[in-house]
Structure 1
Amino acid sequence: MRLLAELDMAERKITLEELSQHVKDTDTWMAINGTVWDITGFAELHPGGPDIIQEYSGGDASGPYNSVHSLKLAEKNFEASQKIGVLEAKCVDDKLPTENTRNPRLETDLPDLDEIINLNDLEVVAEKCLNERSWAYFSGASNDGFTKLDNSEYYRKILLRPRVARAVQDVNTRTKILDDVYDTPIFNAPASLMMLAHPDAEMALAKGLAASGSTIIIPTLSSFSTEEIIEALPADHPFYFQLYVSPNEAALEKMIDTLCKIRPKAIMITADLPIFSKREANERYEKRIAKQKLASGPKVTTATGKKGGQARSAGVSIDPNLCWSNIKCLKERTGIPIFIKGIQCAEDAMQAWKIGCKGIYISNHGGRAADTAQPTILTLAEIRLHCPFILEEMEVIIDGGVRRGSDVLKAICLGAKGVCLGRPFFYALMYGEEGVRYIMQCEFKRPPAHFYFVQVFKPRLTAELLVLKDELETAMQLCGITSLSEAHIGLLNTKALYRDVETPGSLPSKL
């Protein structure tokens, strides 16, 4: 204890006045939870965009930081040499408010989970109970949101062709990906800012997915550090990592070193977002908040033009010049299996196969990339028509619009090994780990009463009250199969779907 006290006394004490002097681009300090960091040059690297960094430069950023990041993330991302000292005790407010990311209605108006019958019910609850910022981010899409809508609607174009008089009492939903067997083919679509739904964010997601016989795809822009998320998983549990390739060489090398150390089952390189799209719900919210700040205090300097607002300026952390040669180099550099996330046509599926990728992840970013891009299930059908060997020689997963267990079955019948859910897991996280287990069909064992989320969560679940896996099992049984290995295209009527697939005469010349 004496040593700790001596170390604390030795730390440089910094006043708010001194902190406020360091606001230049070449000399920038910021306080986070009592620690003062030298963040010179970090604004242009910040995954959330430079605006928020510029706004809080020379000041205390604990409030906005704590609303979307774990306490340990800053220490993980900054070097020890960047630590300047600590704020004087009188300058640290133990009751410093954070941005209002958790609407009080999440504590007062959330219905019992047993009232949630399907994922659409969960979305209705989310719209009612999440605050404006969280709802705009979770539910929003690019431009008019046509691709977001089509992702779901195109599943309705596929009809089931059930087989009857089959013995279907015992059913399992296991799937095999990269030699690992999972109890369910359902995974998370990796996404940032999960703490806007629940303070446990990816920690709750990882625990819920692992307990359900699935696993987490850890996002680059997570609220918790990668190491914290891995520690939340059972020992030696497989996991995947989604990678945004940074344009900053030093940052990319640091990330590659981390990946080589933690050895995920595969790296899923996001390729469908070379620049951030126009997400109008986010931009409307941000403009309204900016006006409120201008009206209530000193003028805040914010970026203007194409990169204005967090929704678009966050693109500074993504390399717009990522190309196939870069991906091939990453594959060779890490020696870890590579999936390409964001495949939207058969040509790129072929290209991923040609450079030796182990898998493809069919996605249009949940309608957050190019609006009017074709829905993901149509892309899967296109690949099946024009290069079906991809489905045999590569691992194929898909996200976008999956809202029913029957949707999962349709994707599997068309050749996918697994499906990923994005927004539904955000909404499930309103209930923390329990919500994740609920939609995945896994009973929740209540933790000790001193845990934070016990005060929020509703009564313990029973096996009769669970959602998505039950729908998948039921769809399988009603179609006459008891294992996903028995799923095949003959269980589907895809005539309406294939009317919209790129014609055979035009596509081969593009491959």
Structure 2
Amino acid sequence: MRLSTVALLPLFRAAFAARPFLNEPDTGIEDVLGNTPKGTLPNLTSIVGLPDFDYVARHYMNLSGYSYYRNGAAGEWSYRNNLEAFHRIRLRPRVLVDITNIESSLPTKILGHNFSAPFFISPCARAGYGNAEGEKGLVRGASQGNILYMVSDFSSLSKPEIQAAKTSGQVLFQQLYVASNFTETQRQLDQAAAAGFAAIVLTVDSAADGNRHRAVRFGVGSADSEYTYFTWDYYNQMRNSTRLPIIPKGIMSVEDAVKAVEVGAPAIYLSNHGGRQLDGAPSPLEIALEIYEQAPYVFNRTEVYADGGVRYGADALKLLALGVKAVGLGRPFMYANIYGDKGVKHAIDLMKREVAIDAANLGVGDLKKISPTYIDYRPNYWYS
């Protein structure tokens, strides 16, 4: 007797729910790099994709440092969902399309600044855990690859040291955690402007400490651990107190995306803090889908950025297809920074190539013309 698909659905779900929790897929990396001595780095040319940097970091870094980068909130289901949400979206390739100039369409403007690709380095704290030179590798690698780097408020190096590592004309954005005391917030805003940052990336998804079990075990908890007073009125007060554009980072619902547009935010940043704050929060891809379905005009009214779980060129394309302007990557670049600027530049080059060849195979000849018609986001029970 043949069972119907509906009858089999519970079995499919149970099977996938029980599958191992993987950091990276099995693409042969263990066979090639598995014999690398602990504490040594394999040749950079052996890194063929961004997930490889996670593998290398896990075997090279001390456990507490790696755990700080890797950890997520509670049972880390949001962290896992950030990665897996992309596999629930199917691409809809077109063929017999001229894609020979796809690479020339990668350059992207972010808040009016020109960059070579539609992705950037997300703000991540404590680069010094992976490399003694801290954020210098991220700044220099971003410059060599001509992409945006958003500097963490909780960096290992001081803001002047980070600025000193810039090349002439390089644009950096500054992440900011707000203080409940506006006098302190004003000082932070003034400091960022004086330091030469081009925009403020305001973290709005960290009102309280993150419930991070993995981090607590190794004594590397949240950098920001206070209850913070923060409202839309406070956001507007900040905007009136600086010449720098302020981008709210951590939008997790269509309601807040619409509100940000209503108050005139110059851009919005879809993020769940890398799954590090609230376990059960939606992935940025799911947030982008919600906005597309319920308030698609948001993508036309303001620039929309998103990060969380992006590891492949195809992941970025799914966000770009929905209307996201530029895609952020955090952990992959922190792991790449183990190699310093050479590792960061290599990660940029890998991502650029994947975005280009995946777009070409999708039948997109001009990345600026990608649209929701290239994806299928109907429920897919095999990957629920």
**TM-score, structure 2 length as denominator?**
0.86
Matched, 1:401 2:305: no
CA contact (8 A) 1:218 1:241 kept: yes
3-state SS, counterpart of residue 495 of structure 1: coil
Report the more deviating stretch, 146-155 or 248-257. 248-257
Q: State how far apart, in whole Å, the 1-side matches of 2:380 and 2:258 are.
A: 21
Matched, 1:212 2:128: no
Determine the structure 2 residue equivalent to 1:311: 221
Q: Cα offset for 1:108?
A: 4.8
Deviations 1:387-413 (A, max 9, x none): 111101111110000010111111101
The 1:495/1:186 distance shift into structure 2, 3 A limit, reads same
The 1:342/1:106 distance shift into structure 2, 3 A limit, reads farther
Deviations 1:430-486 (A, max 9, x none): 111110000101xxxxxxxxxxxxxxxxxxxxxxxxx21111111011112233212
The one-letter amino acid paired with 1:468 is: M
The one-letter amino acid paired with 1:423 is: R
Determine the structure 1 residue equivalent to 2:4: none
Matched, 1:234 2:117: no
Matched, 1:254 2:214: no
Q: State how far apart, in whole Å, the 2-side matches of 1:281 and 1:160 are.
A: 34
Determine the structure 1 residue equivalent to 2:230: 322
The one-letter amino acid paired with 2:365 is: T
Matched, 1:284 2:217: yes
Q: State how far apart, in whole Å, the 2-side matches of 1:332 and 1:106 are.
A: 54
The 1:398/1:357 distance shift into structure 2, 3 A limit, reads same
Q: Cα offset for 1:375?
A: 1.2
Higher relative contact order (CA closer than 8 Å, sequence separation 6+): 2
Matched, 1:426 2:309: no
Q: State how far apart, in whole Å, the 1-side matches of 2:217 and 2:38 are.
A: 27
CA contact (8 A) 2:83 2:310 kept: yes
Which of 135, 154, 159 is equivalent to 2:66?
Answer: 135
The one-letter amino acid paired with 2:286 is: L
Deviations 1:345-398 (A, max 9, x none): 000011111111111110000000110111110000111111111101111110
Q: Cα offset for 1:281?
A: 1.1
Q: Cα offset for 1:222?
A: 1.1
The 1:205/1:107 distance shift into structure 2, 3 A limit, reads farther
- For 1:6-405, list aligned pairs within 5 A: 108-172=39-103, 173-286=106-219, 311-312=221-222, 314-316=224-226, 320-405=228-313
CA contact (8 A) 2:154 2:223 kept: no
Unaligned segments of structure 2, at least 5 residues: 1-35
Unaligned segments of structure 1, at least 5 residues: 1-104, 287-309, 442-466, 501-511
The 1:115/1:226 distance shift into structure 2, 3 A limit, reads same
Deviations 1:294-342 (A, max 9, x none): xxxxxxxxxxxxxxxx5157414xx611111110010111032121100
The one-letter amino acid paired with 2:96 is: A
Q: Cα offset for 1:497?
A: 7.2
Q: State how far apart, in whole Å, the 2-side matches of 1:270 and 1:116 are.
A: 32
Determine the structure 1 residue equivalent to 2:360: 477
Q: State how far apart, in whole Å, the 1-side matches of 2:327 and 2:223 are.
A: 29
CA contact (8 A) 1:400 1:421 kept: yes
3-state SS, counterpart of residue 250 of structure 2: strand
The 1:250/1:471 distance shift into structure 2, 3 A limit, reads same
Q: State how far apart, in whole Å, the 1-side matches of 2:298 and 2:198 are.
A: 20
Q: Cα offset for 1:274?
A: 0.6
Aligned residues: 345
Q: State how far apart, in whole Å, the 2-side matches of 1:470 and 1:312 are.
A: 34
Q: State how far apart, in whole Å, the 1-side matches of 2:321 and 2:143 are.
A: 25
CA contact (8 A) 1:243 1:270 kept: yes
Q: Cα offset for 1:151?
A: 0.6
Q: State how far apart, in whole Å, the 2-side matches of 1:402 and 1:169 are.
A: 25
CA contact (8 A) 1:240 1:264 kept: yes
Q: Cα offset for 1:249?
A: 4.2
The one-letter amino acid paired with 1:475 is: D
The one-letter amino acid paired with 2:298 is: I
Determine the structure 1 residue equivalent to 2:13: none
CA contact (8 A) 1:106 1:130 kept: no
Q: State how far apart, in whole Å, the 1-side matches of 2:223 and 2:79 are.
A: 22
3-state SS, counterpart of residue 240 of structure 2: helix
Deviations 1:259-318 (A, max 9, x none): 2323533211101011111111111123xxxxxxxxxxxxxxxxxxxxxxx5157414xx
Q: State how far apart, in whole Å, the 1-side matches of 2:342 and 2:196 are.
A: 28
User: How big is the alpha-carbon RMSD for the aligned residues of Structure 1 and Structure 2?
Assistant: 2.0
Q: State how far apart, in whole Å, the 2-side matches of 1:312 and 1:138 are.
A: 11
The one-letter amino acid paired with 1:361 is: Y
**TM-score, structure 1 length as denominator?**
0.65
3-state SS, counterpart of residue 273 of structure 1: coil
CA contact (8 A) 1:343 1:361 kept: yes
CA contact (8 A) 1:346 1:382 kept: yes
The one-letter amino acid paired with 2:57 is: A
Q: Cα offset for 1:216?
A: 1.1
